[in-house]
Amino acid sequence: MLSTKWLQLAVLAVLIALLPLLFPSGYYYRIGALIFVNALAVTGLVILVGWAGQISLGHAGFAGIGAYACALAPEHLGLHPALAVLLGAGISAALAALIGRPILRLKGYYLGVATLGFGILVTMVLTNERVWTGGPDGMSVAELGLRDLLRDMGVRISGGVFWYWFCGLVLLIGAWFALNLYDSATGRALRALHGSEVAASTIGIDVPKLKLQAFVISAVYASVAGSLLALQNRFITPDVAGFMHSIEMVTMAVLGGVGSVFGAIFGAVILTLLPQVLTVFAEYEQLVLGAVMILVMIFLPRGLLPSIAARLKRKSS
Amino acid sequence: MKTTTTLTALTLALLASTAQAEIRLGASLSATGPAAFLGDPEAKTLEMLVEEMNANGGLNGEEIVLTLYDDGGDPNKARTFATRLIEDDGVVAIIGGSTTGTTMAIADLAEDEGIPFISLAGAVSIIDPVREFVFKTPHTDRMACEKIFTDMKAQGTTTIGMISGTDGFGASMQAQCKEVAGDYDITIAADETYGPADADMTPQLTNIANTDGIQAVLNPGFGQGPAVVTRNYAQLGIELPLYQSHGVASDGFIELAGAEAANGIRLPGTALLIADILPDDDVQKEVVTSYKAAFEEKTGQTVSTFGGYAHDAFALMTDAITRAGSDDPQAIRDALEATDGLVGTTGIYTFSETDHLGLDLSAFRMLEITDGGWSSVE
Amino acid sequence: MESLLQFLFSGLTVGAVYALVALGFTIISNASDVVNFAQGEFVMLGGMITVFAHEAGVPLALAAVLAILLTAAVGVALNKLAIEPARGAPVVSVIIITIGASILIRGASQLIFDKQLHRLPSFSGDAPIRIGGATLLPQSLWVIGGALVVFVALWLFFTRTLTGKAVLATANNRLAAQLVGINTRAIMTLSFALSAAIGALAGVLATPITLVSYDVGVALALKGFAAAMLGGMGNPKGALVGGLLLGLFEALTAGYISSQYKEAVAFIVILAVLFAMPQGLFGAKSTERV
């Protein structure tokens, strides 16, 4: 499809900038912001699952850490929410580095279960430590303050619109970083070890270190995404770290096309829009979601984006 | 030419006025997901009542259009749907938030945008501190604790054990009960918990039973947990009085727990559960009997207090809209706050500037399960 | 002392349910190397179908048999429509497929049944049996007994019957199995049917104790999976021991340490096992040919 990194980023930026022209109401800004947040988290997963070929069924745990960092740090440590985002990312990276080493020695289903266990443990801590985290009912999150800053500078925009642009910007940065990584030596090494870990190690690639890097980077992506969600919702509950959220993230990655950043974004678009589109048939939502997951995996195993791209290529040739 | 223009103008005017001749009500409920048996009866109740009211001429002569979304118990989705209701569907009022988590997500938005919002969730933090546009219909979990402790004190109980679910409802009520226990001279000597999907609580109950001096046991929770606790309680042969919470105030609980095991259990419930045995001069008798009959006929399920919360929210909202005489959100809110003595299934509501719950302890009835049915012990 | 005994009884009862779920995982894993995340839904279907059939007037025993047969059919459909077409797909894809199947079954159950909690009457009454100062429900004996019977039957099946050996052969090397004349398609169908039937049986036996609703499958699948991992994926003995151990860990933690983190124990144990002994207690150490 599109080959150069800058072309891809430009297309993304143009899409983000022009989409609001189609928005009939403020609600669409909210959907856009949610899609960007999800796409950010899933971009990280693409690095881990698509390029490095690992599995993570507990990645929402990192999103939960990022989200609760924004809730807890301002409340208990007096930290500004912007710094809390960095704190959350730092903790997620540290935790990923810590558990990544033993976990990434596992493969396949075992790796899946281990990451699953991690995600569930994070959820449990967030749920049970009521005194700190507000328990299952959640806690409120402080205001980021950027909108007030803008208002002081004379720019007044509503919350929904602000978050759309802010999340879009963060997504662009995240996409830029990921695309850079793809072309770099590290990125090529990651893709090599996806093909065969044994072969990669024979040509001198430090496989454990590389897998750990991918794990840590994807954890940071998830953490920042979680932070953004917390800051725009102004409220967070432990199920942001839950099993179903992890599954949602992996599904978005695989559905869209786990090999590319655009695939991640595509997957995020589909799964974020699905419940909104199906509201009339809310009773059938689970049924449809399950069916979509199965059918896409069987008939379009590389994901929707690559399959569509391949079809377009065939038509033009 | 002139006739066509006049005709077009008239048609447009007609269309415009019919477009305005409807009152848009929004709802975001947890009809699926872990809180489904809260949200499911709530959704069915709202749909039923809207249909009924529209069939009887509507509200202020206008049709009520209900936009109902299912947030599946997910606060993130609840907030998105609330945004959709306010910005895209243009609702003038919102009923919803089956759980505290979803309520908090919606409440922020409702408050910011100035849309009156009646919540169907239990936590006291929803209306304390009071927010201008946020109201709620269920008793707070704190009140449930107070009602139970009042009864315990009357029985001479001073030391109890607690076993609570770790879900939002159970954990919140557990915290509230621990806070107010001292006001009733009650000490909590054992404090156990269980997960909402757990199948066996005999270890926790054994620990409680082995703690010295325990005179009664309190189980804050909802769903399958309390039913399992009740069965385990009977299995272990614990003779101490068992108190449940209003989270299981439904006939379904007696069925799941088994009439034999549930015998003698006390819990704070609403008049809805004892509709059949209420004295004829009880103020709530008419409201609860007609709601119970309508709901059971429409859905084939037995009535539950959760559906009752939705019933009351709808009654309050439509009453406010009638008194406001318009569908301006601010006017509705003001009329809502001025509600005085509205008889609902949960109790009799009187709101004020400082009280957006509108109920006091008298609305709660202390009920006891006898012979597979409900009886009042007041 | 009686407390300990009570905790043990609790652990064995819950553990037996986990064991049955884990045994279901084992069969499919043995036949196809797939971990079926929809296993928990089979348990749910077993319970729900029995409940609704019973409420419609069918006698309990017949309703249970009906539930087991229908669930087996669902298992076969799952294999035919979702797993078979995805042969050779990467692990991530298969995980998504089985999780998608689990979501689909849950979504369908919401519509076909309802969202309420349901129960079945206990098979031999509710009068607790007193042993050494602790109590045990008769239904618990049914569940534990059921797990043991299934285990023995499976062990005999895999070691003594030709079909059972064919299943193991198919898992070991599909091509080789086909070359010696084994009908691998039929084997796969049989495995899924068997696994679903065992799951349904677990649902039928456990519902009088654990209650059932349309979404009980997820938690059960996770626990059963953890149990299978603990015991060694693919080994029926491992599944049985893993399930019972997991149940016991949970009960002892709830009794002696903290009821809040009793769930955590299960997953901490899993992580510990995966780090120290990835093949589980009874699994064989596997080597990978490069």
Task: Note the pLDDT tens digit of each residue in B260-303.
Answer: 999 999 999 888 888 888 888 888 899 999 999 999 999 888 88
CB contact under 8 A, B70 and A282: yes
B322: left (phi over 0), alpha (psi -120 to 50) or beta: alpha
Q: Which residues contact residue B377 at a Cβ distance below 8 angstroms, ignoring those fewer than 6 apart?
A: B151, B266, B366, B367, B368
Q: Please compute Rg for chain C using Cα positions.
A: 19
Minimum distance, in Å, between the CA of residue B210 and any CA atom of chain C: 9
Q: Which residues contact residue A92 at a Cβ distance below 8 angstroms, ignoring those fewer than 6 apart?
A: A62, A65, A66, A219, A220, A222, A223
The average pLDDT across C224-240 equals 86
Contacts of B227 in chain C (CB under 8 A): 117, 119, 211
For residue C139, give the chain B residue with the closest CA: B235
CB atoms within 10 A of CB B185: 11
Give the dihedral of Cα atoms A79, A82, A86, A91; nearest 10 deg: 50
In this structure, are residues B25 and B59 in contact, taking their beta carbons and an 8 Å threshold? Answer: no
CB contact under 8 A, B105 and A235: yes
Record the tokens describing residue B162, joined without a space. Answer: 């607690």
The average pLDDT across A262-276 equals 90
Selected residues 193-232 of chain A with any CB under 8 Å from a CB in chain B: 229
The average pLDDT across A10-39 equals 90
Smallest Cβ–Cβ distance between C96 and the set A108, A117, A254 belongs to: A254
Q: Which residues contact residue B169 at a Cβ distance below 8 angstroms, ignoring those fewer than 6 apart?
A: B99, B100, B122, B141, B220, B221, B222, B245, B247
CB contact under 8 A, C278 and A292: no
- Residue in this structure with the two tokens 């004829």, named with its chain if needed: B280
Estimate to the nearest angstrom the gap between the alpha carbon of B230 and the chain centroid. Answer: 23
Strands (E), chain B: 22-29, 63-70, 93-96, 117-119, 134-136, 159-165, 187-194, 216-219, 242-244, 266-269, 340-343, 348-350, 365-370, 373-376
Other chains touching A, judged by 3 or more CB pairs under 8 Å: B, C
CB contact under 8 A, A289 and C290: no
DSSP conformation letters of B51-72: HHHHHTT-BTTBEEEEEEEE-T
For residue C273, give the chain A residue with the closest CA: A114
Per-residue pLDDT of chain B (378 residues), as tens digits, is 455 555 555 555 444 444 457 899 999 999 888 888 789 899 999 999 999 999 998 888 889 999 999 998 889 999 999 999 999 999 999 999 999 989 999 998 999 899 999 999 988 889 989 999 999 999 999 999 999 999 999 999 999 999 999 888 899 999 999 999 999 999 999 999 998 888 899 999 999 999 999 999 999 998 889 999 999 999 999 999 999 999 898 888 998 998 999 999 999 988 888 888 888 888 889 999 999 999 999 988 888 889 999 999 999 999 999 999 888 999 999 999 999 999 999 999 999 999 999 998 888 889 999 998 888 887
Which pLDDT score, from 0 to 100, does residue C255 have? 87
In this structure, are residues B103 and B86 in contact, taking their beta carbons and an 8 Å threshold? Answer: no
CB contact under 8 A, B172 and A26: no
Selected residues 227-246 of chain A with any CB under 8 Å from a CB in chain C: 243
CA dist., res. B307 & res. B39, Å (int) = 8
Smallest Cβ–Cβ distance between A294 and the set C82, C91, C222 belongs to: C82
Tell whether omega for the bond before C85 is within 30 degrees of 0, i.e. cis.
no
Contacts of A254 in chain C (CB under 8 A): 92-93, 96
DSSP conformation letters of chain C: -HHHHHHHHHHHHHHHHHHHHHHHHHHHHHHHS---TTHHHHHHHHHHHHHHHHHTT--HHHHHHHHHHHHHHHHHHHIIIIIGGGTT--HHHHHHHHHHHHHHHHHHHHHHS-SS-B----TT-SPPEEETTEEE-HHHHHHHHHHHHHHHHHHHHHHH-HHHHHHHHHHH-HHHHHHTT--HHHHHHHHHHHHHHHHHHHHHHHHHHH-B-TT-HHHHHHHHHHHHHHH-TT-HHHHHHHHHHHHHHHHHIIIII-STTHHHHHHHHHHHHHHH-TTTTTPPP-----
Minimum distance, in Å, between the CA of residue B40 and any CA atom of chain C: 8
The average pLDDT across A2-12 equals 80
CA dist., res. A137 & res. B172, Å (int) = 8
Is residue C70 less than 8 Å (CB to CB) from chain A? no
Determine which helix (DSSP H) or strand (DSSP E) holds B36, and give its type and residue range.
Answer: helix B36-55
**Start-to-end Cα distance in chain B:** 77
Answer whether residue C209 shows pLDDT above 50.
Answer: yes
CB contact under 8 A, B32 and A286: yes
With pLDDT > 90 as the criterion, what percentage of chain A qualifies? 40
Q: Which of helix, strand or coil describes residue B134? A: strand
Looking at residue B100, its amino acid is T
Which pLDDT score, from 0 to 100, does residue B303 have? 85
Minimum distance, in Å, between the CA of residue C209 and any CA atom of chain A: 25
pTM of the model: 0.89
Closest C-alpha among C18, C33, C245 to residue C147 = C18
The average pLDDT across A199-224 equals 89
Task: Express each pLDDT in C112-165 by its tens digit.
Answer: 998 888 999 988 888 888 888 888 999 999 999 999 999 999 888 888 898 888
- β-bridge partners, B69: B28
Which pLDDT score, from 0 to 100, does residue B1 have? 46
From residue A244, alpha-carbon distances to A58, A312, B30, C92 in Å are: 9, 34, 16, 16
Is residue C278 less than 8 Å (CB to CB) from chain A? yes
CB atoms within 10 A of CB A199: 12
* DSSP 8-state symbol, B257: H
CB contact under 8 A, B192 and C7: no
Helices A108-128 and A60-72 pack at an angle, to 10 degrees, of: 20
Smallest Cβ–Cβ distance between C97 and the set A110, A121, A298 belongs to: A298
Strand order in the sheet with B93-96: B63-70, B22-29, B93-96, B117-119, B134-136
Smallest Cβ–Cβ distance between A114 and the set C100, C263, C274 belongs to: C274
CA dist., res. B121 & res. B310, Å (int) = 10
Q: Which of helix, strand or coil describes residue B136? A: strand
Which pLDDT score, from 0 to 100, does residue A93 have? 96
From residue B109, alpha-carbon distances to A136, A160, A233, A301, C69 in Å are: 21, 11, 9, 40, 50
From residue A107, alpha-carbon distances to A111, A114, B364, C92 in Å are: 5, 10, 56, 11
Record the tokens describing residue B290, joined without a space. Answer: 């007609």
Minimum distance, in Å, between the CA of residue C3 and any CA atom of chain B: 7
Is residue C263 less than 8 Å (CB to CB) from chain B? yes
Task: Express each pLDDT in A104-163 by its tens digit.
Answer: 888 888 888 889 889 999 998 998 888 888 888 888 888 888 877 887 887 777 788 889
Angle at CA of residue A141, ends A136 and A144, nearest 5°: 160
Give the dihedral of Cα atoms A243, A247, A248, A252; nearest 10 deg: 160
Which pLDDT score, from 0 to 100, does residue A1 have? 46
Record the tokens describing residue B260, joined without a space. Answer: 């034999």
Which pLDDT score, from 0 to 100, does residue C50 have? 95
Smallest Cβ–Cβ distance between A287 and the set C91, C95, C107 belongs to: C107
Phi–psi pair at C134, nearest 5 degrees? -115, 165
Q: Please compute Rg for chain A using Cα positions.
A: 19
From residue A50, alpha-carbon distances to A38, A63, A182, C224 in Å are: 16, 19, 11, 28
In this structure, are residues A316 and A308 in contact, taking their beta carbons and an 8 Å threshold? Answer: no
CA dist., res. B321 & res. B316, Å (int) = 9
Is residue B223 less than 8 Å (CB to CB) from chain C? yes
Phi–psi pair at B27, nearest 5 degrees? -150, 140
* DSSP 8-state symbol, B166: S
CB atoms within 10 A of CB B279: 7
For residue C119, give the chain B residue with the closest CA: B256
Estimate to the nearest angstrom the gap between the alpha carbon of C54 and the chain centroid. Answer: 23
Pick from B42, B194, B206 the residue to mutate for testing the C interface (most C CBs within 10 Å): B206
Q: Model confidence at C285, in pLDDT bands (50, 70, 90)?
A: low
CB contact under 8 A, A118 and C93: no
Q: Which of helix, strand or coil describes residue B281? A: coil
Task: Express each pLDDT in A272-281 by its tens digit.
Answer: 998 888 887 7
Looking at residue A146, its amino acid is L
For residue C102, give the chain A residue with the closest CA: A290
Q: Which residues contact residue C239 at a Cβ distance below 8 angstroms, ignoring those fewer than 6 apart?
A: C19, C22, C23, C25, C26, C151, C227, C228, C231
Q: Which residues contact residue A45 at a Cβ distance below 8 angstroms, ignoring those fewer than 6 apart?
A: A56, A59, A218, A221, A222, A249, A250, A252, A253, A258, A264
A226: left (phi over 0), alpha (psi -120 to 50) or beta: alpha
Answer whether residue C172 shows pLDDT above 80.
Answer: no
Helices C184-210 and C138-160 pack at an angle, to 10 degrees, of: 170
Closest C-alpha among B308, B316, B314 to residue B350 = B316
* DSSP 8-state symbol, B132: T
Which pLDDT score, from 0 to 100, does residue A317 have? 64
ipTM above 0.85, yes or no: yes
Minimum distance, in Å, between the CA of residue A298 and any CA atom of chain C: 5
Which pLDDT score, from 0 to 100, does residue B20 have? 55
Pick from C2, C3, C4, C6 the residue to mutate for testing the B interface (most B CBs within 10 Å): C6
Selected residues 45-84 of chain C with any CB under 8 Å from a CB in chain B: none
